[in-house]
Structure 1
């Protein structure tokens, strides 16, 4: 399943020409190299399409914005719009696996909302399905979508994904950590508590007990960063355990068995697990744009889709060890992909796009890493002098990120840049190291210097800045108000980054960008009180009064 447009910029409106072409022309669009690979089908809509599922080569459904539900019974040669009864965004669709049974005559006269467990086994399950969407919406059909009936979810949170292991047991997940389970086909949905308030985008179960939801995010104070996790249950959702942490935000996830699964997200981050979701590791996708949909036929053959403008399709035949970008031209975002077998599949996306796969696609792979360099200025820096560290990168296919490290610590990441710069200021002499790492849009990385660091040495020179702080009156009484005033002199040109801080009783009392700097008059309690002032720029004290220690006054 995907993430809603309010969370990421996944669903973008293409230019008017593209919208008109995709939505209204009936001539199929052939891949760029004129071989039959991905062929565009006529959807009959310009709405963004978000999810799809097929039960065989002929029959499938697509859902999307504006309450859109489309169905085909001839492999997508024709798509028919079904009546959802709503106009809100529909985020996911799921039909249970084929499991034919006998039709009992007496039940044919019951209304559609009654045709549910325990009688589900008497019907053809390939026509029993669910759709979820905005505002806690759950729709169910028992007749292949001829009739869609609302079920009560008892939540207003947007539901982003739905998964059933049979016609009885299923889960929905959504915003604000929403996860609900049913064991009777949706007649009753029961809330489960995860202890997380994140927007859940994807849910996948391999049986009634074992499944996964994602993503959840937690702040790590040691690294000052947020990390994402996948949660796993082995007892049907009673308890959930987090995976290892990673930085990629997950939009879609799938498992092919109890051990092997894939998840996709930002910057075409394709993650794989081989131990049932306990540990996830990053695979090289050769693309640095967001992947939002993934589908695997088995442990080896899979596809991922995404992009912004244009979209892209990646495929692998070796369990993700190698991902190949297909050369077919997709004008805008692709949101989801589904395959019946190795030669039959579909992808859907923005502007009503529906594409069908018809044979192997040719590939194009970037094998040249970017060219990078990093320097500092001035060459021989002094204390209290701003030192700029500047990185530059270039690549034929474009730069995705530049990461700058200083004194063995990550400092910043610049996205889609050709240059990246930051600055430092020191009040003491010393030697400092730095290097950069740049990644191109194909995921290839270069570092400067390749295996070591560059450095510069700061020599000490007095700042030439002074500050003097005093209280008034000099001998205050308990009935009198006290004001503290700090005055800068010398080369103390104050600005938004060079400021005066005044502290009273170890608490910050005032911040000024001009001199003198005074605190508001205030009455203090009987006894001793302390104060001092500093001129600070970029966390470096340029001057302090007193130079060490504190000043003070006694209230009598």
Structure 2
């Protein structure tokens, strides 16, 4: 009976996921879009060529072009919240040549441009942990602790490929984070910092660049690499120990994986040029499907379990549509004020990561209950701003193995999920 239930669950889950699709939606531009970000279920931005930044404030239903006062390419965009964001503009035509940092404090209604103080530095990635602490990188990496008024040079180790270009920086907290990048036909690299980006340790992993990494938690990281010349297949890159060691396997797929994001703990997607790659088992195995209208996609983001967006060639925008048998039309059209995610790993021992998202600031609590509904302990209790939050739950040594439930309460919102403790 147990084997039948497991088989039924796997088949049923695959059937539901297989019904999902990407559909093309209206875009206000025909310029190539290379990056897309969302801060909550309503607000998102995408950037690309000819100074293009577009914005949605209604969950992707409508997009509008923002005024950046430039026709130069915008290669990256990052938003800390609905109001504060940064973008990177490359000046290639008129001196001084290099990177302009665009900043907004009103959601992109106005962008202020400032030239990075060193010429001929063409940065590809920018990341801010808060309004003061930020990082910027390509072949060199700089950090700021004063909101970009001054920038300090970071150091990389002595590895011969250490100064290959960064394509993306992601920080877990003010001390720990990762970067990925590399050079075609030379090496795909993941760097790690444990001191807030002051120093970076180099790990050369694949034969080609790594454009984006996905961080499940402080221990589990995943990336995909690919060769635009199709001489090497896609590389599946994983770490289970926080980036101290890496596993590399080749997938039977030929593509270039530009962007990657996960809809939930099991289902993930990669924007891979003229293909979408997808996994239904947490990234262990991957398959491919064509992009609608034969477009090319360069970045992808999931806002929550039912909302995902991708951007790409000729200003193309795509929306993820889950299986209609799994999510009804009313749910599809609604916007979640709060959302509780499945803990990871699950089952677990002795710790697991619990994450949740809120679009408004409020007091938020997460409590643990046993299978009989009795309260065991309070995991989270405090006032949280809008945004994504997570906590590492370390189980009490006296708590026995079994099924437990953790419940998020915020305002009138209540959501409960199951976790399994294995001793």
TM tier, smaller: 0.5 to 0.7
Shift in alpha-carbon separation, 1:49–1:274, aligned structure 2, 3 A = same
Structure 2 length-normalised TM: 0.63
Describe the superposition over 1:78-117 as per-residue Cα deviations: whole angstroms up to 9, x where unpaired: 1110011211111111111xxxxxxxxxxxxxxxxxxxxx
Partner residue in 1 for 2:136? 172
Describe the superposition over 1:24-46 as per-residue Cα deviations: whole angstroms up to 9, x where unpaired: xxxxxxxxxxx772221111211
Shift in alpha-carbon separation, 1:67–1:242, aligned structure 2, 3 A = same
Inter-partner Cα distance in structure 2 for 1:262 and 1:55: 22
Q: CA deviation at 1:207?
A: 0.6
Inter-partner Cα distance in structure 1 for 2:250 and 2:281: 13
Aligned pair count reads 289
Shift in alpha-carbon separation, 1:240–1:126, aligned structure 2, 3 A = same
Is the counterpart of residue 76 in structure 1 residue 57 in structure 2?
A: no
Describe the superposition over 1:440-496 as per-residue Cα deviations: whole angstroms up to 9, x where unpaired: xxxxxxxxxxxxxxxxxxxxxxxxxxxxxxxxxxxxxxxxxxxxxxxxxxxxxxxxx
Shift in alpha-carbon separation, 1:245–1:60, aligned structure 2, 3 A = closer
Partner residue in 2 for 1:137? 100
Q: SS where residue 259 of structure 1 aligns?
A: coil
Larger Rg: 1
Inter-partner Cα distance in structure 2 for 1:163 and 1:238: 14
Maintained 8 Å contact 1:66/1:89:
yes
Maintained 8 Å contact 1:285/1:324:
no
2:179 aligned to which of 209, 213, 220: 213
Output the aligned Cα RMSD: 2.5
Is the counterpart of residue 146 in structure 1 residue 109 in structure 2?
A: yes
Inter-partner Cα distance in structure 1 for 2:293 and 2:128: 31
Q: SS where residue 294 of structure 2 aligns?
A: coil
Describe the superposition over 1:175-199 as per-residue Cα deviations: whole angstroms up to 9, x where unpaired: xx12111222222222223264422
Inter-partner Cα distance in structure 2 for 1:239 and 1:328: 39
Gap runs ≥5 in structure 1: 1-34, 97-124, 219-224, 362-556
Partner residue in 2 for 1:366? none
Q: CA deviation at 1:304?
A: 0.7
Shift in alpha-carbon separation, 1:61–1:199, aligned structure 2, 3 A = same
Inter-partner Cα distance in structure 2 for 1:293 and 1:91: 14
Q: How does 1:517-556 map to 2 (within 5 A)?
A: none
Shift in alpha-carbon separation, 1:329–1:84, aligned structure 2, 3 A = same
Partner residue in 2 for 1:128? 84
Specify which structure has the bigger relative contact order, considering alpha-carbon pairs within 8 angstroms and separated by 6 or more residues. Answer: 2
Is the counterpart of residue 251 in structure 1 residue 235 in structure 2?
A: no
Q: CA deviation at 1:342?
A: 2.3
Gap runs ≥5 in structure 2: 1-18, 91-97, 228-233, 325-423
Structure 1 length-normalised TM: 0.49
Maintained 8 Å contact 2:135/2:197:
no
Maintained 8 Å contact 1:256/1:297:
no
Maintained 8 Å contact 1:51/1:93:
yes
Describe the superposition over 1:218-253 as per-residue Cα deviations: whole angstroms up to 9, x where unpaired: 9xxxxxx94443211101122222225332321222
Maintained 8 Å contact 1:161/1:172:
yes
Maintained 8 Å contact 2:47/2:54:
yes
Maintained 8 Å contact 1:151/1:187:
no
Inter-partner Cα distance in structure 2 for 1:328 and 1:257: 30
Q: CA deviation at 1:56?
A: 1.7
Shift in alpha-carbon separation, 1:82–1:352, aligned structure 2, 3 A = same
Q: How does 1:209-288 map to 2 (within 5 A)?
A: 209-216=175-182, 226-243=186-203, 245-267=205-227, 268-283=234-249, 285-288=251-254
2:259 aligned to which of 293, 317, 324: 293
Is the counterpart of residue 186 in structure 1 residue 170 in structure 2?
A: no
